[in-house]
Amino acid sequence: MRVPIIAGNWKMNTTVSEAVELVNEMRQGLDEIDNVDKVICPPFISLAAVRELIKGSSVKLGAQNIYFEEKGAYTGEIAPLMLAELCEYVIIGHSERRQYFNETGEIINRKVQAALKAGLKPILCIGERLEENEAGRTEEVISQQLKASTTRKYYQSGLIIAYEPVWAIGTGMAATGKQVNKTIGFIRQIIYQKCCTRVAQETRILYGGSVTADNIAEFISQPEIDGALVGGASLKADQFLSIVKQTSEIGGLKEGASSS
């Protein structure tokens, strides 16, 4: 069965001391919640400190980005094996990386490949802009992004997808549960066409975009949605705990894969 995932993307927020304080506020509560994979993704500078705090718990650690080269003269970048010693998951292809750092489908593809090679679990972000959505091009854009960023082997290796419509990220304009369920169903159909029924059913696909404790139930109750990539609400211990708890209570196990 597909086990839901709630991943908190802290983005460029929290100092090391603030990260430690936030983790201490919610570590025990998160550890007490079953039937959902819990992942927190702080900035690079806090990975080591957070890793020590969650050691021995059911909470998992993720990074927000990765570089595709193993090592070398790439000042400021973080190599896959550097991350593999600290965490299990890594977010790749977030719309902010695409928009502000000009990451192309080719670059994202190489990052996913590098992450898998290093034994990391990539969370690949895809999603359309507002003008593309209003023009009825959502499925076209998503198809193009998946084609550029993935191969059949990636899905077979446990790739996780996060559907994040750009117009909903940090805007308070969350999509409706039915809208997201339809789009994620389309993504699953693409995976089926590229791989097979089993892999399509096993692949966990999350929603991201203004997810809060007030609206998570609407998303997690949908049959195709396997969790959420949470932004701002993951920086508030009570909000994030509520999101994870509701997911555990409502989401249940969905037909497909086993837990990570």
Question: Looking at residue 254, what is its pLDDT?
Answer: 67
Choosing from 96, 103, 128, 164, the catalytic residue is 164
Q: Which two tokens stand for residue 203?
A: 């692949």
Strands 89-92 and 121-126: parallel
- Residue 198: how many CA atoms within 13 Å on its side-chain side? 4
Packed helices 138-149 and 105-117: angle between N→C axes, nearest 10 degrees: 50
Between the CA atoms of 260, 209, 106 and 147, what dihedral angle is there, to the nearest 10 degrees?
80
Q: Are 200 and 161 in contact (CB under 8 A)?
A: no
Q: Who's near 40: CB < 8 A, 6+ residues apart?
A: 7, 8, 10, 23, 50, 54, 59, 60, 61, 62, 234
3-state helix, strand, coil in the chain (%, to 5): 50, 15, 40
Q: Which two tokens stand for residue 6?
A: 């709630």
Is 88 catalytic? The answer is no
Q: What is the mean pLDDT of each run of 10 residues along the chain (260 residues)?
A: 95 98 98 97 98 98 98 97 97 96 97 97 95 92 95 92 88 85 97 93 95 96 97 98 97 59
Q: Which two tokens stand for residue 250?
A: 């409502």
Domains in the chain and their CATH numbers? 5-251 (3.20.20.70)
Measured distance CA(144)–CA(138) in Å, rounded = 10
Nearest to 190 by CA among 254, 153, 157, 146: 146
Strands 121-126 and 59-63: unpaired
Is 164 catalytic? The answer is yes
Q: Which two tokens stand for residue 159?
A: 């790739």
Strands 121-126 and 205-207: unpaired
Measured distance CA(117)–CA(9) in Å, rounded = 23
Question: Looking at residue 260, what is its pLDDT?
Answer: 43
Choosing from 94, 96, 103, 202, the catalytic residue is 94
Packed helices 237-246 and 16-31: angle between N→C axes, nearest 10 degrees: 30
* 65-85 CB burial, b ≥16 within 10 A, e <16: bbbbeeeeeeeeebbbebbbe
What are phi and psi for residue 173, nearest 5 degrees?
-100, 65
